[in-house]
Amino acid sequence: DLSSSAADAADAAGAAGGGGEGIATFGTALTLSDRPFMSELWPDLACVPMGAGIAATDRGRAARLRTLEVLLDLACCRVTTTAEHLLDSKFLGSFGESDLQLRDELVRLLGALQAEPCCRQTAAFSLIEDMMRRLGSSTTEIFPDRFPSRTEPPT
């Protein structure tokens, strides 16, 4: 199973403590096959193969390449958040209920600010606008033609 192979590789990468006894590693090398010579040449690298032994066939190499791709995708998923896209409507299907509730509250906040034009003239409003942009909004996407950004040129 591909996902368990990637999980095994992730566990091995996390558990790889050193290239040799008493030698601290400064990084991890992900390889398709066992490469004992790498550990000898670079003992300060923890080498993690995507499978035991050597992948002797094209099919074996392809399977290990796919395992590596899944492992790297898994690593990316674990280190990223959806916060940068919270107000971008293209990502609505990827949010949980609590994310959607927060999004609704932020949209209501923008609506309240829209109803009070004097709020947009305060120095603090630029901080709110910056926060909304960092959360994936262009503000004009939420309020087209009615809530123009002060820093984006009109379209």
Q: Count Cβ atoms below 10 Å from residue 155 Cβ, excluding itself.
A: 7
17 and 69 fall within a common domain: yes
Long-range contacts of 91-94 (CB under 8 A, 24+ apart): 91/136
State the pLDDT at residue 17: 45
Residue 141 lies in a domain: no
Helices (H) and strands (E) in the chain, counts: 5, 2
Q: 14 and 70, same structural domain?
A: yes
Q: Do 88 and 64 share a structural domain?
A: no
- Count how many domains the chain has: 2
The predicted structure's pLDDT at residue 64: 92
Task: State the average pLDDT over residues 104-115.
Answer: 83
Residue 60 included in any domain: yes
| Other beta carbons within 10 Å of 24 | 11
Q: Same domain for 106 and 60? A: no
- 146 part of a folded domain: no
* 3-class state of residue 47 by DSSP: strand
Res. 65 pLDDT band, cuts 50 70 90: very high
Same domain, 119 and 95: yes
Q: What string of DSSP letters covers 55-111?
A: --SHHHHHHHHHHHHHHHHHHHHHH--SGGGTT-GGGGGG--HHHHHHHHHHHHHHH
Based on the fold, state whether residues 15 and 53 are members of the same structural domain: yes
User: Are residues 23 and 57 both part of a single domain?
Assistant: yes
- For the segment 114-143, the average pLDDT, to the nearest whole number, is 78
Whether the CB-CB separation of 47 and 38 falls below 8 Å is answered with: yes
**Do 63 and 9 belong together in one domain?**
yes
Q: Are residues 70 and 116 in the same domain?
A: no
Residues 6+ apart with CB under 8 A from 43: 18, 19, 20, 23
7 has a pLDDT exceeding 90: no
Tell me, yes or no, whether 70 and 95 share the same domain: no
Instruction: Establish if 155 belongs to a structural domain.
Output: no
Secondary structure letter of residue 120 according to DSSP: G
Its domain, for residue 58, covers: 2-79
Same domain (yes/no): 30, 92: no
C-alpha distances out from residue 91 to 38, 44, 75, 95, 130, Å: 42, 41, 20, 7, 19
* 6 and 46 belong to one structural domain: yes
